[in-house]
Structure 1
Amino acid sequence: MFRRMPPDAVAGFHTGAQLHGFGAVSTAEVHVIVPAGCVVPKIQGVVAHESVLPVPVSVEIAGVPCAPAARCAVDLARVLRRMDALPLLDLCLRSGASGVDELRAEVARHGGLRGVGQARKLIGLADARSECRQESQLRLLLIDGGLPAPEPQLWVRDQDGVPLFRLDLGYRERRIGIEYDGLSHLDPDRLRHDRSRMNWLAANDWRMRYFTAADLYRRPHHILSTVAALLRP
């Protein structure tokens, strides 16, 4: 396919993110970056992104020329919905494909391009500790709702400082924990562990709230009002 593309064409956007190991947004199409103004042949299943911002140095992954990880992440953070972009940035950091300093340097190169303001703000919120898409989205929902940013993967320790449990999100000083309940929580062994953990947390003055996909995608205001009520003095 690249033999039919302009000489400087490289994989980027969704395809580049997948090659770098942080493809949080799936696509059946192949996305390539080509210099603006060049002649691009129409190939079924290939999306060509003409860019005025050149890719100075490409990297080769599995024999495919590809834009650097930071470039792929910033390009996607500019064009995706916020709720899709932050999970991708979190995964980019978590996978080690790019560091936050690289993302900041890259977004600075995109000044004036569409969506760069969104990308810059989301890079400031990105956190490598987030372990799944829904955790990232739940964190963003709380921040966008005007609440303080919760700590991802918060460790709860006993009186001796021994780590006992790890919460998806939480406010340590207020002893408030927030969990996303996915399909894994339906496993019998997981349920028994969760009951034991819930009992310990309740006995030690932790106030826990649990939310599902229905809450996150259909009743976001329920999440915001619930957490806001807990955070009131």
Structure 2
Amino acid sequence: MLPDAVISHATAARLHGLVLPRRLAEEPLLHLSRRPGYGMPRRRNVVGHRLDLSEPETEVVMGLPVTGIARTWMDLAGALSSDELIVMGDQIISEHHRSFGPPRLALVPLEELREFITGKAHVPHLAKCRNALDCLRVGVDSPPETLLRLMLLKDPQLPEFLPNVAICNTGGEAQVWTDLGCREFRTCLEYDGAHHLTPEQQARDHYRDLKTAELGWMQVKISKTDFAQGQHRVRAKVRRGLAIAGWRPV
């Protein structure tokens, strides 16, 4: 009925498989966009938008015209909190090549996303996107890892923890890959999600724990329960681990 319309915003994010907060992931609405000068889509359960889209900013997903991933991330800046925008951004740029498992390729490489945002002007919430770009880090595997990193960044006394840090042996060979690591104080953080409860994963975790200690690193495990108790609880656990490793607050 609207052959010139493009699926956009949260609906586009869902089609791309991007991380959304529950309020958007489960909303019973369809977001459609048309070019300026065309009537706003107005139908039941349809949210209409006007977007001036260039051809490279759209693609076809499952036979449907959809805004591209970079454009979708930018358009959602007004509907997401700063932390939620960073969580989605970390997912978009995530890539790594570990010594085990298949490589992970970025949906949009960081430099490509940065170039896209830098080239924009007079777009709502553009400053919010540019601020979020400075907080993105390549190599994140899950939203809780991003949220954990952001919690720690809000404490100016703590050193920065980077995602996907390799712990190497004396020969420089990676032995353990951490969720988040601080090389300066040889301290790493692991988020234990639901998949860590299986016997197979627990066996792998026990080996990883022993190997991490053998290589002289302090490991701090953060759980969903820690998250539920708040960021002060999480930061206290991380501070304790860092202190054991020799860190002292300035």
**Residues 131-163 of structure 1, C-alpha deviations (whole Å, 9 max, x = no match):** 111111111221233333311111111222222
Equivalent residue in structure 1 for 2:184, among 170, 173, 182: 173
Q: Which runs of 5+ in 1 are unaligned?
A: none
Q: Offset of 1:194 from its aligned partner? A: 1.7
Q: What is the total number of aligned residue pairs between the two structures?
A: 226
**Residues 67-121 of structure 1, C-alpha deviations (whole Å, 9 max, x = no match):** 2221111222343022322221112123533222332233235545443222112
**Residues 28-64 of structure 1, C-alpha deviations (whole Å, 9 max, x = no match):** 432222345643343233222334xx11223233322
Q: Which amino acid aligns with 1:45?
A: N
Which residue does the alignment assign to 2:116? 106
Residue 8 of structure 2 is aligned to residue 12 of structure 1: yes
Q: Which amino acid aligns with 1:164?
A: Q
Residue 188 of structure 2 is aligned to residue 190 of structure 1: no
Name the CA distance, whole Å, in 2 between partners of 1:79 and 1:144.
Answer: 22
Q: Offset of 1:217 from its aligned partner? A: 4.2
Which residue does the alignment assign to 1:69? 69
Whether the 8 Å contact between 1:134 and 1:180 is mirrored in structure 2 is yes
Residue 118 of structure 2 is aligned to residue 120 of structure 1: no
Which residue does the alignment assign to 1:42? 42
Which residue does the alignment assign to 1:136? 146
Residue 41 of structure 2 is aligned to residue 30 of structure 1: no
Deviates more, 1:32-41 or 1:146-155: 32-41
Name the CA distance, whole Å, in 1 between partners of 2:155 and 2:182.
Answer: 16
Q: Which amino acid aligns with 1:121?
A: N
Name the CA distance, whole Å, in 2 between partners of 1:217 and 1:37.
Answer: 48
SS at structure 2 position matched to 1:119: helix
Q: Which amino acid aligns with 1:141?
A: M
Identity %: 25
SS at structure 2 position matched to 1:121: helix
Q: Is the alpha carbon distance of 1:121 and 1:228 closer, same or farther for their aligned partners in structure 2, counting shifts above 3 Å? A: farther
Name the CA distance, whole Å, in 2 between partners of 1:202 and 1:96.
Answer: 31
Name the CA distance, whole Å, in 2 between partners of 1:55 and 1:183.
Answer: 40
Q: Which runs of 5+ in 2 are unaligned?
A: 95-104
Q: Which amino acid aligns with 2:197?
A: L
Equivalent residue in structure 1 for 2:237, among 226, 229, 232: 226
Q: Is the alpha carbon distance of 1:224 and 1:114 closer, same or farther for their aligned partners in structure 2, counting shifts above 3 Å? A: farther
Which residue does the alignment assign to 1:200? 211
Name the CA distance, whole Å, in 1 between partners of 2:229 and 2:32.
Answer: 34
SS at structure 1 position matched to 2:181: strand
Equivalent residue in structure 2 for 1:55, among 53, 56, 69: 53
SS at structure 1 position matched to 2:76: helix
Q: Is the alpha carbon distance of 1:114 and 1:225 closer, same or farther for their aligned partners in structure 2, counting shifts above 3 Å? A: farther
SS at structure 2 position matched to 1:174: coil
- Which stretches of structure 1, 4 residues or more, deviate above 4 A after TM superposition? 109-114
Q: Which amino acid aligns with 1:180?
A: Y
| CA RMSD, 1 decimal | 2.4
Q: Offset of 1:177 from its aligned partner? A: 0.6
